[in-house]
């Protein structure tokens, strides 16, 4: 009954994701340049009473070093991103799970730059110059 209601009797598509309890620790955005991760992730921690970590939904962005599991996921995904010619990508991780690969709007550069005094856009431009110059 719920699916019929949400899809208006199979007339519209929906996207759903299993609830991952570790969301309370944040939905981590890991930025990848040419298949390699930036050393820091932005954990987007949900606001009280919210299950989405999106900054636009009131989440708080907390920078943190990549965990061992984050690195394992990035190492598995990286070669495929390179093979597909995807130079700048944001992958999202909740707990131990890759939940999304963002190729059109890999945000969180400004938050990570500000928190760690880095220059992700500069790293990206250097990579592009190296590849295409």
Residues of the chain with pLDDT under 50: none
The Cα–Cα gap between 104 and 36 comes to 17
* 46 to 23, 35, 57, 85: CA distances (angstroms): 7, 28, 8, 32
Q: Which domains does the chain have, with CATH numbers?
A: 20-132 (3.30.470.20)
Confidence at residue 52, expressed as pLDDT on a 0 to 100 scale: 85
Angstrom CA distances, 1 to 6, 9, 18, 53, 83, stand at 9, 9, 18, 28, 42
Cβ(18)–Cβ(99) under 8 Å? no
Taking residue 131's Cβ as centre, other Cβ atoms within 10 Å add up to: 10
DSSP label at residue 57: G
Spatial strand order of the sheet with 27-33 comes to 60-65, 36-45, 27-33, 88-94, 97-102
Strand partners, 44: 27, 61
pTM of the complete model beyond 0.75: yes
Q: Can you state the percent helix, strand and coil of the chain, rounding each to 5?
A: 40, 25, 35
Q: pLDDT tens digit string along 12-27?
A: 998 888 889 999 999 9
Q: What's the pLDDT tens digit per position in 96-109?
A: 999 999 999 889 99
């Amino acid at each position: 009954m719920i699916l019929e209601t949400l899809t208006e009797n199979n007339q519209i598509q929906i996207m759903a994701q299993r609830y991952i309890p570790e969301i309370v620790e944040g939905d981590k955005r890991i930025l990848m340049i040419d298949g390699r991760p930036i050393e820091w992730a932005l954990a987007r921690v949900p606001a009280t009473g919210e299950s989405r970590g999106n900054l636009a939904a009131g989440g708080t962005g907390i920078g943190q070093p990549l965990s061992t599991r984050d690195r394992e996921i990035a190492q598995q995904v990286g070669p495929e991103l390179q093979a597909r010619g995807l130079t700048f990508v944001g992958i999202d991780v909740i707990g131990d799970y890759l939940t999304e690969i963002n190729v059109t709007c890999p945000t969180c550069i400004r938050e990570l730059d500000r928190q760690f005094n880095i220059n992700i856009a500069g790293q990206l431009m250097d990579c592009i110059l190296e590849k295409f110059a």
